[in-house]
Amino acid sequence: MGGFLNSTIARKVAMALSGLFLVLFLAQHFSINFISVFSKDLFNEISHFMGTNFFVQALLQPVLIFGVIFHFVMGFILEAKNRSARNIKYVKFNGNENSSWVSRNMIYTGLVVLAFLALHFYDFWFPEMIHKYIESHPEDAARYYDELVAKFQSPIRTILYVVSFVFLALHLYHGFSSSFQSVGWRNKYAKGLRGFTQAYAIIIPLGFIFIALFHYINNL
């Protein structure tokens, strides 16, 4: 990690930009998933497009995977540097007096989200890659909705997803607004932007929780 990314500020900017990219992706992912609540056919159609379009598969997907890996690797690098900056801990540290729990514990909420991503990839991404590129099954535009619903038959998986989305909300609650400060964007609109980012951090994960519970309850 040489050159520009050697500096504290540059690393935080890179962290912020990768985070903003993932926030954008989250909105797109939520929009498509939410369609599954009211239209099986439209969900299948869009999923098939996303799963077979060359631009999405060959360009956007690698960029997304790079963005995810970059974000958590940089998170670990920053955390290691931060821990080394205070080699002797305070006997008494009253962090709640001057900062929020979520802002001080991004590494832990991030680790839960990372563990969730492993589960999510195990559930959807790896089976999809094996189905398409290893077992080379013929295209079936009608399979996506049933595959999604099948996963949410398990109450344990549904609970794991719901809990993970709560941690995602906590991570976004600080991370989304914080990313603008990291890139130096702070002006008269900052207060409004903070409100928007915090609303986003609650609404999008709540939406994902709703989708997971909807498919679980709908098929009881």
Partner 1 sequence: MKLNLKIWRQENATAKGKIVDYPVDGIDGDMSFLEMLDILNEQLVEKGEDTIQFDHDCREGICGSCSLQINGEPHGPDKLIATCQLHMRSFKDGDTIYIEPFRAKAFPVIKDLIVDRTAFDRIQQAWGYVSVNTSGNTVDANTIPVEKEKADESFNAATCIGCGACVAACKNASAMLFTSAKVSQYALLPQGRVEATERVKAMVRQMDEEGFGNCSNTGACEIECPKGISLENIARMNREYLAASVKG
| Three-point CA angle 202, 216, 39, nearest 5° | 80
Q: How far is the CB of 65 from partner 1 (least distance, A)?
A: 25
Phi/psi at 53 (nearest 5 deg)?
-70, 130
Kindly tell me which of 174 and 215 has the beta carbon lying closer to partner 1.
Answer: 174
Kindly tell me which of 101 and 126 has the beta carbon lying closer to partner 1.
Answer: 101
Kindly tell me which of 85 and 220 has the beta carbon lying closer to partner 1.
Answer: 85
Phi/psi at 111 (nearest 5 deg)?
-65, -35
Q: Hey, how many other C-beta atoms are within 10 angstroms of the C-beta on 70?
A: 17
Kindly tell me which of 8 and 219 has the beta carbon lying closer to partner 1.
Answer: 8
* Side chain identity, residue 110: G
Q: How far is the CB of 51 from partner 1 (least distance, A)?
A: 37
Q: How far is the CB of 21 from partner 1 (least distance, A)?
A: 17
Kindly tell me which of 144 and 173 has the beta carbon lying closer to partner 1.
Answer: 173
Q: How far is the CB of 36 from partner 1 (least distance, A)?
A: 35
**Interacting residue ranges for partner 1, rule: CB under 8 A:** 4, 6-13, 78, 81-82, 84-95, 97-100, 103-104, 106, 174, 178, 181-186
Q: How far is the CB of 118 from partner 1 (least distance, A)?
A: 25
Q: Hey, how many other C-beta atoms are within 10 angstroms of the C-beta on 136?
A: 8
The counts of H helices and E strands in the chain are 10, 0
d(C-alpha 178, C-alpha 58), whole Å = 31
* 171 class by beta-carbon count within 10 Å (0-12 exposed, 13-18 middle, 19+ buried): buried
Tell the residue number behind the tokens 């995602």, with chain if given: 168
